[in-house]
Structure 1
Amino acid sequence: MRHPPWRCAAHTAGPRACLQGLVRACHVWGLGLLSLPTGGDALLVSLVCRSVLHHFHFKGAVHSVSFSPDGRKFVVTKGNIAQVYHAPGRKREFNAFVLDKTYFGPYDETTCIDWTDDSRCFAVGSRDMSTWVFGAERWDNLIYYALGGHKDAIVACFFEASSLDLYTLSQDGALCVWQCDTLPEGLRLKAPTGWKADLLQREEEQEEEEEEGAESETTIRGKATPAAEEQQGKVKYSRVAKYFFNKEGDFNNLTAAAYHKKVHLLVTGFASGIFHLHELPEFNLIHSLSISDQRVASVAINSSGDWIAFGCSGLGQLLVWEWQSESYVLKQQGHFNSMVSLAYSPDGQYIVTGGDDGKVKVWNTLSGFCFVTFTEHSSGVTGVTFTTTGYVIVTSSMDGTVRAFDLHRYRNFRTFTSPRPTQFSCVAVDSSGEIVSAGAQDSFEVFIWSMQTGRLLDVLSGHEGPISGLCFNPMKSVLASASWDRTVRLWDMADSWRTTETLALTSDALAVTFRPDGAELAVATLNSQITFWDPENAVQTGSIEGRHDLKTGRKELDKITAKHSAKGKAFTTLCYSADGQSILAGGMSKFVCIYHVREQILRKKFEISCNLSLDAMEEFLNRRKMTEFGNLALIDQDAAEEGGVAIPLPGVKKGDMSSRHFKPEIRVTSLRFSPTGRCWAATTTEGLLIYSLDAQMLFDPFELDTSVTPVRIRAALRQRDFTRAILLAFRLNERKLLQETLEAVPWDEIEVVSSSLPDLYVEKVLEFLASSFEVSRHLEFYLIWTQKLLMVHGQKLKSRVGTLLPAIQFLQKSIQHHLDDVSKLCDWNRYNLQYRWPSRSSGA
């Protein structure tokens, strides 16, 4: 059975995942090298076809990776060594990672890398307060050079443009300026020795015999005379200046730095959230500002030197600062703790997420940015949902409140509470948007409020366990509530909230959801089953066993494999697809499963993460971590940091055996399908993941035969047989050819062509128009197409509203996006005209 080609389109990672640098990435020739420092695994990824080309293991935790400016080599630092590899080329090779040289020098772990502009040398900083300059080639006058002068670990080192001059920065806020007495062009290749020298000498003798008598003098290429060699000597460095950032005397650790060689701009970030901008080499202070009270984890400068990006791992914050105008270009902040729930807006343009940090964030699905954050909740958010209008968000929280937020004025306009304090575990809103319901975790009750008045309407009792899920029937006034008491109850709003049916389950219910047409109910239970029910007759229509599909991973402290572990093997979140034919399921696992409902078979499994730094990622027990004293996972190998300061035990040189670490566990907390049917989103430990149907790189024809060719399609266009050309183009299903065919139809003949299209192709034309609105500039032309299709085929489309609903909602989302942009532009122009016209008339 074919499955949709879902691809991960956007990744709004959480603060812990993206800003702490768990994955290093470097790109060369359209390829990406991804290295995981925790395990040393590397992936060579093609950015063109989005596939992994090669796997490699560096046999140790990798701290940093850096490509040379010419793209021929890259340096990997692990432990106290630096290894130079040949960069993978365009040719297909058995081993894409070829080791060139291994450099030894530092006595402690390496911290940073920087290359010269000509890729002749590179510098490596270390925790032993030294910086080492190595030659990428076998230079005669520079093999390695060690630089001292610091009293703390090196944070960053930078070469000057087209020079071997070097800047080094240490953690205690000291900057050393090193001047080299040799230019990069003065580096000499070392003369070969051994069999290479003999081979070179033979080649030179053969050349001399061939050219004998042609020249009076013969010089050996690549060698210098002894006199010149004595004059040049070895490369030497001298420290010409030393500066300190903390002149006031307050102790503040330097945590990150970046240097732009063209504009000589140095940006430094500190543990207190302060950043400085200096001009080198004079060390002139340009700015000294503070972005937060948390440590600056990373700094980057764009190619022109105008924008500076800061990352704060403690807050999950990303800032882009334009230092010349002193203004924000971008300011984004994720959830501090894990995301718990999400919901799509009815038009699919926005996603709302709630987290354990009590924040409610609204994200734009097109840009991937958060544009509003609500912080009214004082405890973790357990559920979020949109009303049918799309401008009201309703949330439930463990603080005992259910709140409604307005997206017009960005305010909390309703707060629903219970008669006695209780913790709400889930929330639901009916199709009219007038009734709000929330389930209690401790009192086992369901509370009903009115959105208009905010008054408590009813309290539904009957469950004997915590409420785990609520869902309204989209087509009827029926509420389904799932509980840990192994039942699902159906409450009829029209009949004074009387219980119409009680569905008996074989295990505790963890999630419940209705199909978009309301004719089917799906329930996830603790025994790893998904059961399907007919809500009208209270009859079970099918079940899916998901124990083997979920594949829960083994935790770090477990002494048994994942196969024999019984903990967490259950789906905790469910969601129907927009057409109701498939269902998404996820839980405490790195996999998300999509099932075909009618056939009750697995369509596809999605692996949401390969990050081995998360817990429960591996399936088998690693015997190497088991010793006679217990599991080595109980011991943290890294020194604890408190306020950016390492606090080791007395006498401990590497690591602190008294500290403990916490690894977040991989899990999927919520799943939702977009109303457009083109995307689905998941809140995970890694953050908010959005998967979409990417058809740009796929050849997916429809009823194709040998007679359908681009030549025949263009011939039909020349004969002005537009209907036949459109049918052939959609059968071939090439996007550029479809665009060419539709745009070749004159605007005054669109109605005639639309009326001659079969019903099956009308849906395909609407889907193509909806996707074209996002990228095309022919807005009016495609609007005419949309209007004529809906006017001509409107009555016929009503009979297939279930299958056409995703396409219509996708079309509505695209048009609404343009409407918002155009309306803002028109309002701006209207206000400008109203402001300028009276001023001109009064001046006249």
Structure 2
Amino acid sequence: MKFNFQFNNLLGTVYRQGDLVFSSDGNILFSPVGNKISLFDLRHHKSQTLEPDDSRSNISALDVSPDGCTLLAGNDEGEILFLSLISRSVLHRQRTNSSITAIKYSPDGQRFAVARDAIVYVYRTPGPYTRQYHGLGLERVLKGAYDDITSLCWSSCSRILAAGSKDMSTRLHALSPFLNFSLCALGGHAEALVNVFIEPDSLNCFTVSRNGHLAIWESSLEVAELVPGTRKIARQGQQKKEEESEDDMNPPSAEMKEEVDDPNRSKRVKYSRLARHFLKDALPDEDKNGWLCAADYHAKAAILVTGFTHGVFLIHEMPDCNLIHSLSIADHDISSVRINATGDWIAFGSANQGQLLVWEWQSETYVLKQQGHFNSMACLAYSPDGQNIATGGEDGKLKLWNANSGFSFVTFTEHKAAISDVAFTPNAKVVLSASLDGTVRAFDMKRYRNFKTFTSPRPAQFRCLSVDASGELVSAGGLDVFEIYLWSMKTGKLLEVISGHEGPVASLAFSLSPTSSMLASVSWDQTLRLWDALAVNSNNESVPLSSDATAVAFRPDGQQVAVATLNGQIQFFDPRSGTQTGTIEGKKDLGGGRSDTDLITAKKSSEGKCFMTLCYSADGSCLLAGGQSKFICIYYIQEKLLVKKFEVTQNRSFDAMDEVISRKKMSEFGNLALVEDRDDSLGSKTIALPGTKRGEMSSRSLRPEVRVMGLQFSPTGREFAAVTTEGLLLFSLDTKVFFSPIDMDENTRPDVIRQLILDQVFDQALIMALKLNDNALLIETIEQIPKEEIGLITQDLSEKFVPNLAKLVAQQIDTSRHLHFYALWAQGLLTNKAHLLRKGSNEIRPVLNSLHKSLILKSAKLNEISEHNLYTMRFLIAKAKQYRAKELKSANEEEAMEQGDPVENSDGSLTGSDDETGDGGFLSNWD
């Protein structure tokens, strides 16, 4: 089994804070999610997540270069990340000392401005625009604001920069010296500025403040009338004095005299407020108390979009400020608004709800509507085909996610309390969820409805859930009632109530073997109990544990049980005899960080860590474990060794990420985090509750700790998913191509393989390519083999090469355009190697799941295209029949007119030679 899993995608969290940015073509939306950046392809309906390794805090500002090749990101710690969207990597990092509030590229791409506190820094952009490749070069430092900068905007000529501030004023800075332009300050607002916009090819601008006031400013000059200066602004030391003395000694020349007499020099830029509008007047009376918190302006379409704290957004036509559209999209504030390049789509982000919307305002339809769990996720489950992932959250919602696109396509809200566990039936037609509201609900995956609800005789909070291999039995364990309930999926009746535990049931697991009905349960009473679910009044076998149990998992073949305990151990048992076969001490592998409020060291804190979730790999050789830590561990079971540790995140915005508290947080009174600040503006007292681990939710600032609540391998074995504090993380083997040769010798070379293809020795060429195990060379070799040779080659292929070949065929069916060709390869493998596939070995099972997943996906896409083409062909055939009947009718009418026969008109009258003789329509029944 390969262990080089890498972070692939982030699901369940679509927006946290900061700016939303569209790509230059307007088809891709960039959304900051913690210290990561999610890319939503709105044309192809796919998502991808970038994880800059250098970002150690939440990203607060984004902007894309005009050519769409680079991305600028600024985080809360003041780091500027320069990312390439081609290689998806960080090219450069610039460190500053405070949080970044705004970043903006100039229209020509040569500069970008960064707002930090009350100062604006202008940097030169490395790349083809400036022909500099030595990092970010600081060009100007613009001061003058008395409070934090909130927004930046460049003029179309890239020489004027406008900065809006919380001091209720806007300042326009000139990046190059002009004779008739200097620093301009625009006031007139009673609240902090939200955004400022400059009209294209002009110096006119709009300013929008928090109280909904829009000011339109008109300049006395246009951009073309700006006269560049001839002298340098900055002269220092002796050089400046020498130049001034030389100017005094030498009289001005004719050119200088003409420059002094230039009338444009006396004609300086002046601003006058042309109009003032109150945007709140368009809101209903009950919404006028809200604040304006986001705004964006599209110059070509001349529309202004504003978002308010109560979830209402307005679209106005500028410069007359005519209301075009208004809509309420949420109950919370709209944190960010952005219009794409064409002006058709408007993106809205709500940080409180974690919601992301893309609205097409002309047709009034949603292009994208995604929202994660309002509270943290609690559990997950892969569907048997690996296409979908079900997640349950503490908000009582069950969401289904597409593992390929990364989008949520259905949400169930029937539960009234937090969901504790979810599971799929083996046929993938039903997903079940257990909740603390005392119900286990079954949802249909075809009609997306709750068709069965399982309840207990007396109210109980269900902590865990499991489904047997046949999909006929459903079991759930109680949290407050120490019993296990068993229901029938078909009838929905309660079959049995299993008692015996003396503490809350922590976890349940049915044996995955189709010939076994064994059920394993662990509890906080330090016991593992094994039951036979099909036997009537079966006796259970109780196995003592070293500590309270937190999780249990069956190996895929049903021959081993793994149990995680509160003391940080993982214990293995033989379910047939109940004997212990091994132990893993994982307490030190979990690691520990020191919280800002901890009075003990990280080493002492790690003694209380334990694993909370376990999952076997598809072949059963490895175990995936996670819990009260930022690490996910993979253990090799046979040797009881730690193979690899995956760090969930490096985001220092979470608590307990470092083992040592920074000296910046220490003072003469001790740790600053332990000092209670009770003198806030609202007069509230932020006293932390003793014993809380998640943080005080009513506090103004909440820093949760990173935890892993759920883990599961994909049935394909190529990826695994983890439910964490950040969201649903996907780790995959398919992010990069890895070279893993098999049985190589000195003659196994690419040139030899290509020569064998030219000599039409296809079987040897394919075997050598499989030995090299290079995907590019293997694809090249397979596509050179004629389809008539597929059956013979697959029949003589060695068994050890079948898994790799089947894995490649499954990948190519999903991605290649040669669908029929690779379908023939799949048919040849399934037909000629049926004896190997029937063995159901651990190595071939994930390959078959991957092949099944690819065939189902391609079948669904082809069915959709076929149905669309079918309806199109029916429409065209119907239109052709109508057109043909019309032509036939016209031909008959012409023939009748030529022969003098009467022709029936549309009103029923007849036209012909007889009517012309005055018969009055006597031949109205003419056939």
Aligned to 1:136: 175
608-617 vs 479-488, which moves further:
608-617
Alignment of 1:340-739 (within 5 A): 340-475=378-513, 476-496=516-536, 498-566=538-606, 568-627=608-667, 631-633=671-673, 660-694=700-734, 696-704=736-744, 707-739=747-779
Change (3 A) 1:200 1:105: closer
**Alignment check: 8 A CA contact 1:615 1:663 kept:** yes
* d(CA) in 2 for partners of 1:45, 1:568: 39
Alignment of 1:87-166 (within 5 A): 87-89=125-127, 96-139=135-178, 141-166=180-205
309-318 vs 732-741, which moves further:
732-741
* d(CA) in 2 for partners of 1:363, 1:770: 22
Amino acid in the other structure paired with 1:164: L
Quote how far apart the aligned CAs of 1:802 are. 1.5
DSSP-derived class of the 1:791 partner: helix
The answer on 1:336 being equivalent to 2:374 is: yes
**Alignment check: 8 A CA contact 1:639 1:659 kept:** no
**Alignment check: 8 A CA contact 1:439 1:468 kept:** yes
Gap runs ≥5 in structure 2: 18-30, 35-57, 247-252, 685-697, 886-927
Aligned to 2:104: 66
* d(CA) in 2 for partners of 1:230, 1:372: 64
Percentage identity across aligned positions? 45
Change (3 A) 1:316 1:93: same
417-426 vs 122-131, which moves further:
122-131
* d(CA) in 1 for partners of 2:437, 2:879: 54
DSSP-derived class of the 1:681 partner: strand
* d(CA) in 1 for partners of 2:399, 2:710: 15
Amino acid in the other structure paired with 2:313: F
**Alignment check: 8 A CA contact 1:561 1:621 kept:** no
Change (3 A) 1:766 1:607: same
Aligned to 1:176: 215
* d(CA) in 2 for partners of 1:92, 1:513: 58
Aligned to 2:206: 167
* d(CA) in 2 for partners of 1:505, 1:451: 32
Amino acid in the other structure paired with 1:127: K
* d(CA) in 2 for partners of 1:273, 1:379: 26
**Alignment check: 8 A CA contact 1:19 1:298 kept:** no
2:260 to 215, 219, 226: 226
Aligned to 1:761: 801
* d(CA) in 1 for partners of 2:479, 2:207: 56
Change (3 A) 1:776 1:497: farther
* d(CA) in 1 for partners of 2:699, 2:772: 62
**Alignment check: 8 A CA contact 1:393 1:404 kept:** yes
* d(CA) in 1 for partners of 2:165, 2:663: 32
Aligned to 1:822: 862
Amino acid in the other structure paired with 2:858: H
Change (3 A) 1:31 1:501: farther
Change (3 A) 1:252 1:544: same
Quote how far apart the aligned CAs of 1:798 are. 3.0
Gap runs ≥5 in structure 1: 206-216, 641-646, 651-657
* d(CA) in 2 for partners of 1:720, 1:437: 58
* d(CA) in 1 for partners of 2:641, 2:112: 46
Amino acid in the other structure paired with 1:433: G
180-189 vs 551-560, which moves further:
180-189
* d(CA) in 1 for partners of 2:852, 2:779: 20
27-36 vs 682-691, which moves further:
27-36
Quote how far apart the aligned CAs of 1:188 are. 2.0
**Alignment check: 8 A CA contact 2:12 2:371 kept:** no
Aligned to 2:916: none
DSSP-derived class of the 1:782 partner: helix
Change (3 A) 1:98 1:497: farther
* d(CA) in 2 for partners of 1:83, 1:183: 26
Quote how far apart the aligned CAs of 1:78 are. 2.1
**Alignment check: 8 A CA contact 1:559 1:621 kept:** no
**Alignment check: 8 A CA contact 2:590 2:606 kept:** no
**Alignment check: 8 A CA contact 2:423 2:433 kept:** yes
* d(CA) in 1 for partners of 2:91, 2:619: 35
334-343 vs 292-301, which moves further:
292-301
Q: RMSD of aligned C-alpha atoms?
A: 3.2
The answer on 1:83 being equivalent to 2:117 is: no
* d(CA) in 1 for partners of 2:370, 2:718: 26
**Alignment check: 8 A CA contact 1:140 1:191 kept:** no
741-750 vs 404-413, which moves further:
741-750
The answer on 1:771 being equivalent to 2:805 is: no
DSSP-derived class of the 1:560 partner: coil
Amino acid in the other structure paired with 1:281: P
Q: How many residues align?
A: 815
* d(CA) in 2 for partners of 1:322, 1:196: 58
Quote how far apart the aligned CAs of 1:160 are. 1.6
Quote how far apart the aligned CAs of 1:140 are. 5.4
Change (3 A) 1:174 1:517: same
The answer on 1:301 being equivalent to 2:339 is: yes
* d(CA) in 1 for partners of 2:606, 2:682: 38
Alignment of 1:185-204 (within 5 A): 185=224, 186=226, 188-189=228-229, 191-192=231-232, 194=235
DSSP-derived class of the 2:825 partner: helix
Residues 186-237 of structure 1 deviation map (CA, whole Å, 9 limit, x = unaligned): 25256235479969999xx9xxxxxxxxxxx9979xx972222763554332
The answer on 1:246 being equivalent to 2:280 is: yes
Residues 221-263 of structure 1 deviation map (CA, whole Å, 9 limit, x = unaligned): xx97222276355433222222111125633311111112222
Quote how far apart the aligned CAs of 1:689 are. 1.1
DSSP-derived class of the 2:4 partner: coil
DSSP-derived class of the 2:842 partner: helix
Aligned to 2:848: 808
Change (3 A) 1:448 1:14: farther
Quote how far apart the aligned CAs of 1:832 are. 6.4
**Alignment check: 8 A CA contact 1:19 1:316 kept:** no
* d(CA) in 1 for partners of 2:388, 2:460: 30
* d(CA) in 2 for partners of 1:387, 1:682: 20
Quote how far apart the aligned CAs of 1:84 are. 2.2
* d(CA) in 2 for partners of 1:549, 1:134: 55
* d(CA) in 1 for partners of 2:742, 2:303: 56
Residues 443-480 of structure 1 deviation map (CA, whole Å, 9 limit, x = unaligned): 11111111111111111111111111111110111011
Q: What's the TM-score once normalised by structure 1's chain length?
A: 0.89
Q: Which one has a bigger Cα radius of gyration? A: 2
Change (3 A) 1:270 1:724: same
DSSP-derived class of the 2:262 partner: helix
DSSP-derived class of the 1:802 partner: coil
**Alignment check: 8 A CA contact 1:14 1:336 kept:** no
Change (3 A) 1:533 1:281: same
Quote how far apart the aligned CAs of 1:839 are. 9.3
Aligned to 1:7: 7
**Alignment check: 8 A CA contact 1:14 1:335 kept:** no
Change (3 A) 1:637 1:457: same
2:305 to 267, 273, 280: 267
Q: What's the TM-score once normalised by structure 2's chain length?
A: 0.82
